[in-house]
């Protein structure tokens, strides 16, 4: 992974303290030269690189456990392996890049920033999304974007059942097959503004000149915003 300079700060979790590593990453008295960190031997530890609020680059050399890069602000976190449940949960800004697969609830409740997953994401990807962007280069599991309020999800592969269940004003772009749509989620037309938006998201995720052809857009039918007795079985 390319870094910011030739001398990253090395933090080794083998035999070390996760609390101490996170404290170093979060330190308010960090020097200007300490903007690039390498985390060695993560061993699937939970809550790695959480609560960051500085424009630092953090490379995690291996697999991460639950809630990696949660509550991220401004930082660029790269996981050079797989990530467990809730990666980039409640992210506010910055960028989180998972080189492998992610478990369920990737990007849950995230308000801003960009989450890129090179592989597949499990169930509930983007659950209750509140404004962030998520690009999954593989496929996503069932109930992805459940109750998503704002933000965008791009899936280059397939999507599982109940996609966009109870979605609000978030937007979903899927190139592959969709198992079925959740309550109040419908297929919507792709207008010029959506093609431009999709292309911009793919470029931001490092997809280069990826073709936008074949994508479909999904969003809210706005039938569940207010209680209607005729929709009682959909609530």
pTM of the predicted protein model: 0.93
* Contact assessment for residue 195 and residue 211, using Cβ atoms and an 8 Å cutoff: no
pLDDT of 4 strictly over 60: no
Q: Tokens 């996760």 — which residue?
A: 18
Of 12-21, 167-176, 179-188, give the lowest mean pLDDT range. Answer: 12-21
pLDDT of 2 strictly over 80: no
Instruction: Note the pLDDT tens digit of each residue in 105-160.
Output: 999 999 999 999 999 999 999 999 999 999 999 999 999 999 999 999 999 999 99
Of 11-15, 40-44, 80-84, 187-191, give the lowest mean pLDDT range. Answer: 11-15
Is 48 or 213 the better-scoring residue by pLDDT? 48
CATH of 9-234, one of 3.40.50.1970, 3.40.309.10, 2.160.20.60, 2.60.120.260: 2.160.20.60
pLDDT of 78 strictly over 50: yes
Strand locations in the chain (E): 9-12, 36-40, 57-60, 76-79, 95-98, 114-117, 130-136, 150-155, 171-174, 185-188, 216-220
Ranges of each domain in the chain: 9-234
Going by pLDDT thresholds of 50, 70 and 90, the confidence category of residue 169 is very high
Q: Which two tokens stand for residue 97?
A: 């890049």
Confidence at residue 6, expressed as pLDDT on a 0 to 100 scale: 67
| CA nearest neighbour of 216 among 205, 185, 204, 224 | 185
């Amino acid at each position: 992974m390319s870094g910011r300079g030739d001398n990253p700060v090395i933090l080794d979790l083998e035999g070390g303290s996760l609390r101490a590593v996170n404290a170093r990453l979060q330190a308010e008295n960090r020097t200007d030269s300490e903007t690039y960190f390498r985390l060695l031997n993560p061993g699937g530890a939970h809550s790695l690189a959480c609560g960051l609020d500085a424009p630092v680059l953090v490379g995690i050399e291996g697999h991460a456990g639950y809630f990696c890069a949660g509550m991220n602000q401004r930082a660029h976190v790269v996981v050079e392996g797989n990530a467990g449940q809730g990666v980039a949960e409640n992210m506010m800004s910055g960028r989180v890049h998972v080189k492998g697969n992610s478990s369920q609830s990737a990007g849950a409740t995230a308000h801003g920033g960009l989450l890129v997953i090179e592989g597949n994401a499990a169930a509930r990807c983007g659950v209750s999304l509140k404004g962030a962007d998520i690009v999954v280069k593989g496929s996503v599991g069932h109930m992805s974007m459940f109750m998503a309020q704002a933000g965008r999800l791009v899936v280059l592969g397939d999507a599982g059942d109940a996609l966009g269940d109870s979605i609000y004003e978030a937007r979903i772009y899927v190139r592959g097959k969709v198992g079925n749509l959740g309550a109040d989620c419908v297929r919507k037309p792709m207008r010029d503004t959506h093609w431009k938006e999709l292309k911009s998201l793919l470029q931001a995720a490092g997809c280069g000149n990826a073709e936008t052809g074949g994508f479909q857009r999904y969003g809210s039918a706005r039938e569940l915003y207010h209680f209607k007795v005729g929709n009682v079985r959909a609530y």
